[in-house]
Amino acid sequence: MSNTTRPDAAMFDAAHPVLCLASASPRRRDLLASIGVHVEVRPVDVDETPLPGESAASYVSRLACDKARLGSGLSTLPTLGSDTAVVCDDEILGKPEGSEHAASMLRRLSGRAHQVLTAVTVSGPAGVLTACVTTRVTMREIAEDEIAAYWASGEPADKAGGYAIQGLAAVFVERLEGSHSAVVGLPLFETAALLRRQGVAVWGDALR
Name the H helices within the chain: 26-34, 56-72, 99-109, 144-152, 180-184, 188-197
Of 179, 99, 110, 181, nearest to 140 by C-alpha is 110
Question: Cα-flanking dihedrals φ and ψ of residue 32, to 5°?
Answer: -65, -40
Of 9, 135, 8, 24, nearest to 80 by C-alpha is 24
Annotated catalytic residue within 47, 83, 89, 158: 83
Decide: helix, strand or coil at residue 134.
strand
Task: Reply yes or no on whether 13 is catalytic.
Answer: no
Q: What's the half-sphere exposure (Cβ side, CA atoms, 13 Å) at 30? A: 8
Residues acting as catalytic residues: 83
